[in-house]
A and B are shown apart, each in its own frame.
Chain A
Amino acid sequence: DGGITQSPKYLFRKEGQNVTLSCEQNLNHDAMYWYRQDPGQGLRLIYYSQIVNDFQKGDIAEGYSVSREKKESFPLTVTSAQKNPTAFYLCASARGRGVDTQYFGPGTRLTVL
């Protein structure tokens, strides 16, 4: 089955630790995205990548970092600089450039204790 996988589904970390969230897709999509979801705020774009080895900041990139070494993978690192990291994180992908439908993974809920 083609789709987007995110792991783990639940993640707990202590304050001050970096943590990396996984996102993998087998849809052969060029573009990948990371969103953060908080109650009552909808989804906000953290980073996106149009192609391997290229990525751009979204609206709320501070405290996050990404890499895109492979077409199918777009991991997100939540660093200790992120002031309020507890949230639901969603990864998405789309075929490529221009307006296109984004398809979403199941999400990872990160709780920082």
Chain B
Amino acid sequence: GAGVSQTPSNKVTEKGKYVELRCDPISGHTALYWYRQSLGQGPEFLIYFQGTGAADDSGLPNDRFFAVRPEGSVSTLKIQRTERGDSAVYLCASSLRQPPYNEQFFGPGTRLTVL
């Protein structure tokens, strides 16, 4: 079956611009997670959706970052006024079971480069 997909696979933007990153989870998965991996580090949690609502957004670094999941399926991560430090691989994962024992299925990521 289809896995988690993310678009675009690569995004190059200039400092100060706005970007949107899209995640299509596995059909039927109610839980959706965003992580980002900076160079030399492990993935870092950003936000978790259960259905349409953000159950935990404690990992969003500041108010330039925002994520939505209006119909409980596709999610969009939005970054305003991008900075060079936002450059990273942004990963999305979805899960069928309730936490904390749920296996998370990851997409291939979006590599964001801010020049």
Note whether A and B form a binding pair: no
B residues whose Cβ falls under 8 Å from a Cβ of A: none
